[in-house]
C-alpha cells in the first residue's frame, strides 16, 4: 500500500484495515462532506468537495498513522443553487440519513473519535439542528466542523476582500489556485460580472490552507488526547 493510500479508508483491504484497527494504531476518522454545485463561471463544480477532502487528507498526513479519511458522499444540500444546471443536491433528510449511516459505519468499525469536516455552507444548519440526536445515537466523540471556522479575522487580512469563506469569491478561488489550479478557468475569472475572484492569488491560498491544516490537525489531536470532547446529551429520566 502506498503512503497516501494509508490515509484513505477505501484504499485498504479488509485485512489491512482490521490489522491497523486491532493494533490500536488508528485513533480518529475524518468524514469530509461538502457539495457538488455551481461555483460561478470560473471554478469547477467539485470545489467544495475537493477543498474539504484536501484539508481532511492533509490533516491525516500530518497526524499519520493515527487518522484515516472516510470518503463516502460528495453531494450535499444545494437546493439554493439548482437554478444553475449541473448542480447536484440531496434533500436535507437524505443527506442527514446518509451522513448518519456513514458515521454508524465508522463507529461500528471501531472509531470513537469521529470528525465530520464540512466544506459547504448549506450543510451547516441541518447538521447543527440534529447533532444532539447524532450524539445520543452514537455515544462517541463526534464533532462537526466547517473547516473555515478555524480561521479568524486576522487570517482574513491575507485577502484583499478580507472575507472568509465566500462562495466562489477570493477565498475559494485562492484555495483552488494553490491546491488544484486545474479547476480554475483563468479565462473566465475576470470575464464575468463578479469582480472579486480576480483578486485571488495562489500565495494567499497556500498560506490560508497551511493555517487551516495546522489548526484542524490540532483540533483532531485534542480529540484523540481527550481534551476536545463532544458532550453527549443525557437521555430523559
Which tens digit of pLDDT belongs to each residue from 122-135?
A: 999 999 999 999 99
Q: Going along the chain, which residue ranges are E strands?
A: 28-33, 67-69, 113-118, 141-146
- 3-state SS, residue 29: strand
pLDDT, tens digit, 9 for 90 and up, residues 175-233: 999 999 999 999 999 888 889 999 999 999 999 999 999 999 999 999 999 999 999 98
CB atoms within 10 A of CB 77: 25
Q: Which three cell numbers stand for residue 209?
A: 490552507
Q: CA 88, CA 207: separation in Å to the nearest integer?
A: 30
Residue 237 has pLDDT above 80, yes or no: no
Percent of the chain with pLDDT over 70: 100
Residues in contact with 220: Cβ distance below 8 Å, sequence separation at least 6, in sequence order: 28, 30, 59, 63, 67, 113, 115
Q: Quick one: pLDDT at residue 163?
A: 95
Q: Quick one: pLDDT at residue 182?
A: 98
Q: Quick one: pLDDT at residue 205?
A: 98
CB atoms within 10 A of CB 108: 9
Q: CA 12, CA 5: separation in Å to the nearest integer?
A: 7
Q: Quick one: pLDDT at residue 3?
A: 80
Residue 1 has pLDDT above 80, yes or no: no
pLDDT, tens digit, 9 for 90 and up, residues 34-69: 999 999 999 999 999 999 999 999 999 999 999 999
Query: Across the strands, what pairs with 31?
Result: 116
pTM above 0.75, yes or no: yes
Outline where 139-190 has alpha helix (H): 153-156, 170-179, 186-189
Q: Quick one: pLDDT at residue 170?
A: 97
Residue 137 has pLDDT above 80, yes or no: yes
Q: CA 21, CA 218: separation in Å to the nearest integer?
A: 22
Average pLDDT of the chain, as a whole number: 96
Question: If you ran DSSP here, which 8-state letter would residue 43 be given?
Answer: B
Closest CA to 134 of 184, 87, 97: 97
Q: Quick one: pLDDT at residue 99?
A: 98
Q: Quick one: pLDDT at residue 2?
A: 80
Banded pLDDT at 108 (limits 50, 70, 90): very high
Q: CA 30, CA 143: separation in Å to the nearest integer?
A: 10
Banded pLDDT at 235 (limits 50, 70, 90): confident
Residue 19 has pLDDT above 90, yes or no: yes
Amino acid at each position: 500500500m502506498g503512503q497516501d493510500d494509508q490515509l484513505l479508508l477505501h484504499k485498504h483491504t479488509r485485512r489491512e484495515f482490521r490489522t491497523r484497527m486491532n493494533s490500536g494504531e488508528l485513533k480518529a476518522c475524518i468524514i469530509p462532506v461538502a457539495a457538488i454545485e455551481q461555483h460561478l463561471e470560473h471554478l469547477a463544480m467539485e470545489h467544495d468537495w475537493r477543498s474539504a477532502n484536501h484539508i481532511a487528507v492533509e490533516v491525516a498526513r500530518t497526524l499519520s498513522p493515527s487518522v484515516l479519511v472516510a470518503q463516502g458522499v460528495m453531494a450535499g444540500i444545494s437546493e439554493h443553487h439548482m437554478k444553475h444546471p449541473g448542480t447536484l443536491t440531496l434533500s436535507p433528510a437524505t443527506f442527514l440519513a446518509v451522513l448518519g449511516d456513514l458515521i454508524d459505519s465508522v463507529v461500528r468499525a471501531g472509531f470513537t473519535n469521529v470528525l465530520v469536516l464540512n466544506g459547504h455552507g448549506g450543510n451547516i444548519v441541518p447538521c447543527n439542528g440534529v447533532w444532539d440526536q447524532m450524539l445520543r445515537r452514537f455515544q462517541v466523540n463526534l464533532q462537526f466542523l466547517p473547516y473555515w471556522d478555524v480561521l479568524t479575522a486576522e487570517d482574513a487580512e491575507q485577502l484583499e476582500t478580507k472575507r472568509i469563506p465566500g462562495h466562489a469569491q477570493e477565498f475559494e478561488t485562492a484555495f483552488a489556485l494553490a491546491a488544484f489550479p486545474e479547476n480554475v478557468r483563468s479565462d473566465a475569472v475576470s470575464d464575468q460580472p463578479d469582480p472579486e475572484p480576480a483578486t485571488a492569488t495562489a500565495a494567499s491560498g497556500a498560506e490560508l490552507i497551511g493555517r487551516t491544516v495546522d489548526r484542524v490537525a490540532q483540533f483532531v489531536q485534542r480529540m484523540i488526547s481527550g481534551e476536545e470532547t463532544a458532550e453527549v446529551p443525557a437521555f430523559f429520566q
